[in-house]
């Protein structure tokens, strides 16, 4: 069953609400969406429509961040939602490919992030990285997407964490890296399918 939190939002009426924390980089932030939206915004709508309950997905995506950057600031994001959010979606690593960060560094960043999520009482779900097309900023190390995805699946298995597979999204890329509005909707639908499949 999907972990939930609910309560009274207005006098005399009961509304169930559910909070999800979304940690990541520009793909979580929603960079290049022509309406200024994001997958967390679309995910909240999808889950609300599917369940009849209100979902708010807190967007903690910051453009340009690597997994090391996210590790530095994630604890405060998690702690501030500790008593309300029961699910945390982690999607990070695209910017790590630019460096590229060594696999063992990326893996330990993910390990600490996932354990921090658990320590704050949330169920973590980690997304694999989408494939990239040519981009001047990401052209040299695109093979690291596959390398990091192996790392994601390995660490998730070791820690008993759910994985959301983000494959076949290339047609939605607007600049080789970021998504169109339709692409972020597709991403949100993939997350929603995973969340709704939880028992």
Q: Is 184 left (phi over 0), alpha (psi -120 to 50) or beta?
A: alpha
Largest CA distance in the chain: 59
Q: Which residues pair with 17 in a beta bridge?
A: 54
Q: Strands 54-61, 85-91: parallel, antiparallel or unpaired by DSSP?
A: unpaired
pLDDT at 11: 45
- CA–CA separation, 95 and 135 (whole Å): 12
Residue 55 phi, psi (nearest 5): -115, 130
Which sign does the torsion angle of CA 147, 149, 150, 154 carry? positive
pLDDT at 140: 75
Please check whether residue 137 is in contact with residue 131, taking contact to mean a CB–CB distance below 8 angstroms: no
Closest CA to 29 of 21, 20, 37: 37
- For tokens 């939880």, the residue is 198
pLDDT at 10: 47
Ranges of residues in the chain whose predicted pLDDT is under 50 = 6-12
- Please tell me the class of the 7-196 domain: alpha beta
Helix (H, G, I), strand (E, B) or coil at 61: strand
Burial 151-172 (b: 16+ CB within 10 A, else e): bbeebbeeeebbbbebeeeeeb
pLDDT at 190: 98
pLDDT at 8: 41
């Amino acid at each position: 069953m999907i972990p939930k939190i609910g309560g009274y939002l207005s006098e005399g009426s009961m509304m169930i609400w559910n909070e999800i924390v979304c940690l990541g980089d520009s793909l979580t932030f929603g960079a290049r969406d022509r309406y200024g939206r994001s997958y967390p915004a679309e995910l909240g709508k999808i889950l609300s429509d599917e369940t009849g309950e209100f979902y708010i997905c807190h967007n903690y995506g910051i453009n340009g961040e690597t997994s090391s950057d996210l590790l530095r600031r994630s604890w405060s994001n998690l702690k501030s939602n500790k008593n309300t959010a029961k699910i945390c979606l982690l999607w990070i690593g695209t910017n790590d490919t630019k460096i590229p960060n060594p696999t063992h560094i990326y893996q330990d960043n993910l390990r600490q992030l996932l354990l921090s999520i658990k320590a704050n009482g949330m169920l973590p779900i980690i997304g694999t990285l989408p494939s990239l097309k040519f981009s001047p900023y990401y052209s040299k190390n695109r093979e690291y997407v596959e390398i990091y995805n192996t790392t994601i699946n390995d660490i998730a298995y070791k820690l008993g964490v759910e994985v959301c597979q983000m494959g076949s999204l290339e047609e939605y890329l607007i600049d080789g890296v970021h998504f169109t509005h339709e692409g972020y909707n597709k991403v949100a639908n993939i997350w929603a399918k995973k969340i709704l499949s939880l028992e």
